[in-house]
Amino acid sequence: MATSTETTTAFQFPPHYSFPPFFTLQPVATTRSSQLQSWSAFIQSYCRAHRIFSLSLIDALATPLFHNTTLSRQLSLRDAKAILAWMASPEGGQRAEFVNSGSKKKDEGEGGRVWVYWRRPEEWAQQLEEWVDRTGQKGVVLTLYEIVEGEASAREEFGGMDMELLRMSLGVCVKKGKAQIFSSGGEGEGVKFF
């Protein structure tokens, strides 16, 4: 699991986390739809609280995200993949995306890596643009490192963000004509907002 900084407050698990059937996808369509929505909201809030931007599905199965040790209940790999596939769909709000490993189209194989979008790249792009405006950094070349690890961004939600997700989000800014990305021959990448 990719995490940057742990939160200082304890995460509050939702009430349905203590309900054993929550850990088995239900066959009745209406119940399953409600359950998928509950899992999506839970996964997003858990990842947000723990600053998780992507996870390895196989590794995440043993964590509290998918395993309630008090109940001795754990989501199966098959069900976890089904939930994340639903989250990646338009119906699920495109709140997840399987990372293509190159072996298959959008590889959803055993233990595949998945982005969890508690904010989608376009939402992160908006956050970045607002931060640049608020801090008066339009026209300034910022390194990608200082955006996610710098003092000015330490208290921002994107502080500690995965560099690959940052690049995707900055790509949205570039497409909108709000930014330009620079590469400086091995010394890192920079971005300038307009």
**Are residues 14 and 94 part of one domain?**
yes
Specify whether 102 is located in the same domain as 131: no
Task: Assess whether 106 and 170 both reside in one domain.
Answer: no
Q: What pLDDT score was predicted for residue 151?
A: 87
Q: Which residues make beta-bridge pairs with 74?
A: 67
In the sheet with 113-116, reading across from the earlier edge strand, the strands are 2-3, 52-56, 113-116, 96-98
| Count of domains for the chain | 2
Give the residue from 86, 116, 146 where a domain finishes.
Answer: 116
133 vs 53, 122, 139, 140, 167, CA distance in Å? 24, 17, 10, 11, 19
Instruction: Inform me whether the pLDDT recorded for 184 exceeds 80.
Output: no
For residues 10 and 193, the model is more confident at 193
**Which pLDDT band, with edges at 50, 70 and 90, does 154 fall under?**
confident
* CATH number for the domain harbouring residue 158: 1.10.10.10
Give the CATH number, domain containing residue 25.
1.10.10.570
Give pLDDT, residue 124: 96
Q: How far apart are CA 189 and CA 97, in angstroms?
A: 24
Range of the structural domain that residue 111 is part of: 2-116
The predicted structure's pLDDT at residue 102 = 62
Is residue 48 domain-shared with residue 100, that is, in the same domain?
yes
> Is the confidence at residue 3, as pLDDT, over 90?
no
Helix-then-strand count for the chain, H and E: 6, 9
Condensed to tens digits (0 to 9), the pLDDT of residues 28-37 reads 999 999 999 9
Domain boundary among 89, 116, 143: 116
Antiparallel, parallel or unpaired: β 2-3 and 141-143: unpaired
